[in-house]
Amino acid sequence: MKDKTKFDRRDFTARMLTTLGVVLVIVLMQKWLDNLFPDKYYPEKIALYIALYFGSGYLYEALKRVKWKLGGRHGV
């Protein structure tokens, strides 16, 4: 059983890299979204960025579960 109180450096690093990657993708997509939705207002674009961010977080969690089920980091 994994101790939940212990700090897991690998998991923290993976989450930070994923967060930085998502922020980079959102920043790079900003110009593309401005061209794609030129008539949208700024709050709607912010809502779209937030949806992209949370969607990528769910994708990360799903991929992590699949990796562990296939015998990944902990060999589960």
Question: Residues 53, 30: contact at Cβ < 8 Å?
Answer: no
pLDDT tens for the 76 residues of the chain, in order? 566 666 667 777 777 777 787 778 777 777 777 777 777 667 777 777 777 777 777 777 777 777 666 665 554 4
Q: What is the pLDDT of residues 42-62, one digit of tens each?
A: 777 777 777 777 777 777 777
- Tokens representing residue 3 in the block: 């101790």
pLDDT of residue 5: 61
Closest alpha carbon to 62 in 30, 54, 37: 54
The helix (run of H) or strand (run of E) holding residue 37 is none
- Tokens representing residue 70 in the block: 């296939």
Closest alpha carbon to 60 in 16, 29, 6, 9: 16
Domain boundaries, the chain: 9-69
pLDDT of residue 71: 63
